Amino acid sequence: MTKTPNVGALLSPGPDPERIALWDYAAADFPNASPRAWSAGELDSLASALARGLLKRGLKRGDSIAVLAANRAEFVALYFGAMRVGIVVVPVNWKLAAETVAIIVEDAEAKLVFVDRDRAALAPASVPVILFDSPEWDALPDPGPVEIIEPDFHEPAQILYTSGSTGRPKGVPLSHRGQHWMVSVVTKEDNSQHRLIVAAPMYHMNALFNLKFAFLNRAQLVLQPVFTAESYVKAIIAHKATWLTCVPTMMAMVANYLGDAPPPAEFAGVTRLFMGSSPYSKALVDRVRALFPNARITNGYGTTEAGAAVYGPHPDGIPAPDAALGYPIPEGETRLVTPDGGIVEGEGEGILQMRNPATMQGYRNMPDKTAAALRDGWYHSGDVVRRDEHGFHHFVGRADDMFVCGGENIWPAEVERLLETHPKISQAVVVPIPDRVKQRLPVAFVTLREGASLTEAEAKQWTIERGPAYQHPRHVFFLSAIPLAGTNKIDRTGLTRRAAELAGATEEA
C-alpha cells in the first residue's frame, strides 16, 4: 500500500539548504521595512525545533493548536512543524469577533493558542496562549531532528473554519493525503524558477495552498503580513515576481493605485496570474492584461471543503475564454446537477459538485450540515456553473446570492459584469434590498477609475440600455474602495446591510 505523505514534509531543505526560500515582510513598519530572507535550511530547522518543543510541552499526535496572527515566517514554520508530528493546526480568521474566535477554539479543542501582539486580545482566556516575539515563544523551540510521522489515510493535517458571517463557523478537517494530492496534481512541470507573492491571510485556503505549492516546487516565496496595493506593487518590483495569485478586488486596487501611468518594467516578468474566489469581468481582464502583458491569466477556483485542484487547461489545447473557470482536471470528478438532483449533460447550467482526494470527510461536530453538503462523497458547492460547447465551466453565481425581483431571477455577478463594462467604472458589487412590491431590488456599489466622474443616473442608464430593465440597479452608491472581508473577498454581508440603510435614508429624504 502506498504511504500517506505528511504535509509537514513539504517544507524541506532539499539539495541546497542555503537557497533563499522565503522573504518575510512581517516588520513593525511594514511595508517600508526591508524583508528578512530565510533560507530553506533555516525554515526547516525552525519547523523541526518547534515540533520538538510542542511535544516537550506535552502535546501529542491528534492534539490541535490554534493560530491568530498575520502572515510571518514563524507562523509558516509552526504550521509545517506541528503537522510533522501529527499535531493539527487551526489557523483562525482574526477578523472575526472575539466571541466567534472563542467558539472556534473550543470546537477545535485547541490545547494552545498562538497570537501576535495586534491580535492578542482576541484569544480566549480558557486556553493557554503563547505570544510571538515573547520570552515564552523564544523558549519553545527545541533544536534537533524530528521523526516525521506517517499519517493515517484520513488523518487531519489542519482544520479550517468557514467565515461564520451567516451563522456558526463550520470546521473543515482536511487530511494530509488530500492536501498533498491537491498541490501534487497541479504540478505538471518544473516551477522552481518562480517567485510567488503571498499576501492573502494564512487562515485562508488560497495562502496555504500557495505555501505548499511553492515548497513542493522549490519556488521562492515573498510573504506579506497583509495586502495593500502599494506594498503588493513594491514587492513585484523588488523581487521580480513571476507568479501572482489574488482575488479580483486586489487586482482592481492595484490597477487603481497605478492609475494611467505605464506599468513598471518588472511587471513584464510576471508569467502566471491567478485571479479567483469571486467572479470578474472582461473589462478587468483587459486592464490586468495591459498591466501584465506576458502573463497567462487564469481564473482560480477552489473551496475549503473540496480543495483548489478542480480546473486546468483543455485536453485538446483549446484556449480558455476570458473569465472561464477552466476545464475539469481528469484526476478529479465534477458534475453539474439541477436543484432536484438531476445530472446536467452536455451544455447547460447547474450546481457544481466535486469529488476528489482533497474533499473533506465532513464538518466537525455538525452531522446535519455534513449530510446537506456531502452526498455519496460528492461535495455540493452551492455554486451555479455553466458548461459551454467545449466543456469549459463558467461561474454564474452562488445559488444563495440569486434573488427574485418582480418574478425575475437576478444574478448579482451578471449585473456587476455589465456595470464594469463602463469605461469609467473600476469595480461593481450588486446586492439586494427588500421591497414591498417586488420582493427585492438590486442596488449597486461602484468604484471609479482614477480621475473619473460619473453620476448615478448615468450608471443606471448604462445598464438599462445594455441589459434587461429589471436588472438595472435602483440605487448606485459610489465608494473609494470596495470593502473586503477577512478572506480578501468582497464583504457582501456588510454591503447588504449598508445598502438597506442608504436606500432607506435616500427614500426618506
Q: How confident is the model at residue 410 (pLDDT cuts 50, 70, 90)?
A: confident
Q: How confident is the model at residue 509 (pLDDT cuts 50, 70, 90)?
A: very low
pLDDT above 90 as % of the chain: 68
From CA 432, how far away is CA 439, in angstroms rounded? 9
Q: Across residues 483-494, what is the average pLDDT?
A: 76
Q: Across residues 184-207, what is the average pLDDT?
A: 91
H helices present in 310-381, as ranges? 367-373
In tens, the pLDDT along 92-118 reads 999 888 999 999 999 999 999 999 999
The HSE-up count of residue 175 (CA atoms within 13 Å, CB side) is 19
Q: Which residue has the cell 510533522?
A: 84
**Residue 507 reports pLDDT greater than 70:** no
Which part of the chain is CATH 3.40.50.12780? 7-226
As a whole number, the mean pLDDT across the chain is 91
How is residue 81 written as a grid cell? 512543524
Residue 318 or 437, more confident:
318
- 144-154 burial: b if 16+ Cβ within 10 Å, else e: eebebbebeee
Closest by CA position to 471, among listed 459, 484, 455: 459
What is the predicted pLDDT for the residue at 455?
A: 95
**Residue 19 reports pLDDT greater than 70:** yes
What is the predicted pLDDT for the residue at 108?
A: 97
From CA 84, how far away is CA 11, in angstroms rounded? 10
**Residue 165 reports pLDDT greater than 60:** no
Under a CB-based contact definition with an 8 Å cutoff, are residues 93 and 203 in contact? yes
HEC-encoded secondary structure of 362-394: CCCCCHHHHHHHEECCEEEEEEEEEECCCCCEE
Helices 205-217 and 73-84 pack at an angle, to 10 degrees, of 80
* φ, ψ for residue 326, nearest 5 deg: 125, -165
How is residue 492 written as a grid cell? 457582501
Closest by CA position to 228, among listed 259, 206, 250, 252: 250
Residue type at 169 in one-letter notation:
P
Residue 128 or 249, more confident:
128
How is residue 364 written as a grid cell? 466537525
Q: Across residues 233-256, what is the average pLDDT?
A: 90
From CA 217, how far away is CA 311, in angstroms rounded? 19
In tens, the pLDDT along 56-99 reads 999 999 999 999 999 999 999 999 999 999 999 999 999 888 99
Tally of residues, the chain: 509
Residue type at 283 in one-letter notation:
A
Closest by CA position to 171, among listed 269, 105, 251, 270: 105
Reply yes or no: is the peptide bond before residue 91 cis, omega within 30 of 0. no
Its sign, for the CA torsion 419, 420, 421, 423, is positive
Query: Which residues lie closer than 8 Å to 501 by C-beta, 6 or more apart?
Result: none
DSSP SS3 for 436: coil
Rounded to the nearest 5 degrees, what angle is found at the Cα of 20, between the Cα atoms of 19 and 25? 170
From CA 122, how far away is CA 104, in angstroms rounded? 12
Element (H, E) at 371: helix 367-373
What is the predicted pLDDT for the residue at 33?
A: 74
Strands 243-246 and 272-276: parallel
Domain 301-398 indexed as CATH 2.30.38.10: yes
Which part of the chain is CATH 2.30.38.10? 301-398
What is the predicted pLDDT for the residue at 163?
A: 66
Under a CB-based contact definition with an 8 Å cutoff, are residues 159 and 172 in contact? yes
Q: Across residues 331-349, what is the average pLDDT?
A: 93
Which part of the chain is CATH 3.30.300.30? 403-508
How is residue 464 written as a grid cell? 438599462
Closest by CA position to 492, among listed 404, 393, 403: 403
Helices and strands, number each (H, E), in the chain:
13, 25
What is the predicted pLDDT for the residue at 210?
A: 93
Q: Across residues 433-437, what is the average pLDDT?
A: 85
Residue type at 213 in one-letter notation:
F
Residue 392 or 486, more confident:
392
Topology of domain 7-226 in CATH is Rossmann fold (3.40.50)
- Greatest mean pLDDT range, 74-83, 162-171, 283-292, 410-419: 74-83
**Residue 278 reports pLDDT greater than 80:** no
What is the predicted pLDDT for the residue at 437?
A: 80
Domain 403-508 indexed as CATH 3.30.300.30: yes
Lowest-confidence segment of 161-165, 228-232, 273-277 by average pLDDT: 161-165
DSSP, residue by residue, 207-224: HHHHHHHHHHHT-EEEE-
**Residue 134 reports pLDDT greater than 90:** yes
On the 0-12 / 13-18 / 19+ scale of CB atoms within 10 A, 389 is exposed
**Residue 166 reports pLDDT greater than 60:** no
The residues that bridge with 154 in the sheet, in sequence order, are: none
What is the predicted pLDDT for the residue at 477?
A: 95
Closest by CA position to 377, among listed 392, 390, 358, 395: 358
From CA 352, how far away is CA 38, in angstroms rounded? 41
